[in-house]
Amino acid sequence: MFSVTCVAPVNIALIKYWGKRHEELILPVNDSISMTLSTDELCAKTTVTASESFERNRMWLNGEEVPFEEGSRLQRCLKEVHRLAVASGSQKVPPTWKLHIASVNNFPTAAGLASSAAGYACLVYSLSRLYDIPLSEELTTVARQGSGSACRSLYGGFVQWHRGALDDGSDSVARQIAPSDHWPNMHVLILVVNDARKKTASTRGMQQAVKTSQLIKHRVDQVVPDRITRLREAIASHDFQAFAEITMKDSNQFHAVALDTYPPCVYMNDVSHRIVSFVHDYNDRMGSYHAAYTFDAGPNACLYVLAEHVPHLLSAILKVFPNDLADGDTYLRGLPIPKVQDAESSKLDSLDVHAKNAFRYIIHTKVGEGPRELRADNSLLINGLPLE
Ligand code: DP6
């Protein structure tokens, strides 16, 4: 019997992936760029066990068994990993041995975060450790076939998923732009919004967008290529002003495409729109961009903010979006946030209250590293080597 356990991070897109040019291979219509979040606050954790005595492949997600069907994304990832294992000559685990896979997310599904990205990245990374396959661009093409955005969670820091041009998808790979220590003070506040509406799943939403939206064509041809170049430059030169503007504009355009889809897909809610106006108002008062929002296919906001500005931004959020839970132990989660000095809070005096009890909680996290293996004693391994 062989067993490995790995953790993999969540990533949040700064330039969104939205729309496929091939449904099965999951090939995107445009490049995207994301930032990987620290696994200390949010991660998927997967244990894969291979045994000669297992009769069939089985998988459990957050404790519940899920079907392991022929033709599923799960099955496709496993087949692809087997192919890579054969190609690399790895003989550690016989490919005929069946697997038991157990995966959990350390964050509530209610947080509406990119759990499929972390989950598939963790699955593929764990399989690669089990079969002794090195982390490579080719491995990202496997994760991509689980869930498109998962390919970006195989690396830490800032990552670009290249659309690629080939029909077989072999050049549609994720590559790291900069590691997590390139911009270590890049932090994130995730505002988890109260919302019970059922939304169109990303896979379906983007299918409909490609079919019906005219705006998506303009986005893909005229807008994204230039944004990719400019965001790469902003990251390379630690230019938060350019970073913030591109990120906010791209989030807005993605939601404009969702609304231009017919019938429309509505992901943001009233609170999300209030967060957008709050961030613009706040940045105006500060005289430059101190925070940048982005929204995925749901109402929750991710606010990018440099570490030194987190306490001040949080005071403003607590003033504009007061919450009865704010004094409790579970409202502010993740990295601790120091209180602001009174002198610094004067710029907040005239901010108006937008909405009460609008969030379930707030998570404070930062840029982080890619997946890693956990040993039985829980010490970390990076690409198979123990961390000193
Ligand atoms: C809005 O990767 O979940 O988060 O490839 O169909 O599984 P599938 O979609 P998925 O879509 C993510 C969309 C997004 C933007 C992004 O992460 O780039």
Probe ligand 1: pick from 120, 149, 266, max atoms within 8 Å of CB? 149
Q: Whose CA is nearest to atom 6 of ligand 1?
A: 203
- Atom from ligand 1 closest to the CA of residue 254: 1
Residue 388's pLDDT is: 41
pLDDT tens by residue, 84-124 = 999 988 888 998 999 999 999 987 665 567 678 999 999 99
Tell me which residues have their CB closer than 6 angstroms to ligand 1: 13, 16-17, 26, 32, 114, 116-117, 147-149, 202-203, 296-297
Report the chain's mean pLDDT, rounded to a whole number: 93
Q: Is the pLDDT of residue 378 over 70?
A: no
Arithmetic mean of pLDDT, 5-20: 97
| Burial zone of 367 (CB within 10 Å; 0-12 exposed, 13-18 middle, 19+ buried) | buried
The Å distance, Cα 334 to ligand 1 centre, comes to 24
Residue 93's pLDDT is: 93
Probe ligand 1: pick from 17, 29, 161, max atoms within 8 Å of CB? 17
The Å distance, Cα 91 to ligand 1 centre, comes to 34
Q: Is the pLDDT of residue 63 over 70?
A: yes
Arithmetic mean of pLDDT, 365-386: 77
The Å distance, Cα 147 to ligand 1 centre, comes to 7
pLDDT confidence band for 199 (50 / 70 / 90): confident
More confident: 386 or 261: 261
The Å distance, Cα 332 to ligand 1 centre, comes to 27
The Å distance, Cα 13 to ligand 1 centre, comes to 9
Q: Whose CA is nearest to atom 4 of ligand 1?
A: 296
Determine the Cα–Cα distance for residues 319 and 164; give it in Å rounded to an integer: 46
Arithmetic mean of pLDDT, 162-189: 98
Provide the residue type at 150 as one letter.
A
The Å distance, Cα 109 to ligand 1 centre, comes to 16
Residue 232's pLDDT is: 98
Q: Whose CA is nearest to atom 12 of ligand 1?
A: 149
Q: What percent of the chain has pLDDT over 90?
A: 84
The Å distance, Cα 202 to ligand 1 centre, comes to 6
pTM of the entire predicted model: 0.95
Residue 89's pLDDT is: 87
Determine the Cα–Cα distance for residues 59 and 46; give it in Å rounded to an integer: 10
The Å distance, Cα 385 to ligand 1 centre, comes to 31
- Atom from ligand 1 closest to the CA of residue 206: 6
Which residues have CB under 8 Å from 47's CB, separation 6+?
3, 4, 5, 101, 102, 103, 126
| Burial zone of 70 (CB within 10 Å; 0-12 exposed, 13-18 middle, 19+ buried) | exposed
Q: Which contacts (CB < 8 Å, 24+ apart) does range 281-284 have?
A: 281/351, 282/313, 282/316, 282/351, 283/244
192 has which bridge partners? 361
